[in-house]
Structure 1
Amino acid sequence: MLKVEILGTGCKKCHQLEANVQEALTTLKLDAEVTQITDPIAIAQRGVMKTPALAINGKVVSKGQVLPPDQIQKLV
């Protein structure tokens, strides 16, 4: 199963990124486990210094930006 993680403190941009991820997954008709990681230490351990960040199957694919759904679809 696809595992998607939103890394961030839970700010407005983090919530927007999560909404965009959900929209991209719906468009692609994919099931995925989508989780938010809000612990600053866990985020830093992944080498992320700018949030929000997006990780797919454990690999960080975006840092410091809210990707639109179409770009997320390409990454998935």
Structure 2
Amino acid sequence: MKKFKVLGGGCRNCEVTANAITQAAKEAGVEIELEKVTDMAEILGFGVMSTPGVVLDGKVVHAGSIPGPDQVRDWVLG
């Protein structure tokens, strides 16, 4: 099971990112675990300075914007 973390303060872009990951996993029939991280100390601990950030299995894979649909599908399927 892939473990995703969406890093951000709960802004609209963070919600859109979390929803895109959830939807891509649902469409692909892939089971994931998704956690929303809003604690700034934890976010900075990942080295992310601009949100939303995406962590996949402990590694930062995106930061600073809403990821595109193809990128999200690649994470889910990869």
**TM-score by structure 1 length?**
0.93
Structure 2: unaligned runs, 5 residues or longer: none
Q: Which stretches of structure 1, 4 residues or longer, exceed 2 Å deviation after superposition?
A: none
Structure 1: unaligned runs, 5 residues or longer: none
The CA distance in 1 between the partners of 2:4 and 2:48, in whole Å, is: 15
User: How high is the sequence identity, in percent, across the aligned residues?
Assistant: 34
* Matched residue count: 76
In the alignment, which residue of structure 2 is the partner of 1:16?
16
1:24 and 1:70 in contact (8 A); partners too? no
The CA distance in 2 between the partners of 1:11 and 1:60, in whole Å, is: 19
The alignment yields a C-alpha RMSD, in angstroms, of 0.9
In the alignment, which residue of structure 1 is the partner of 2:70?
70
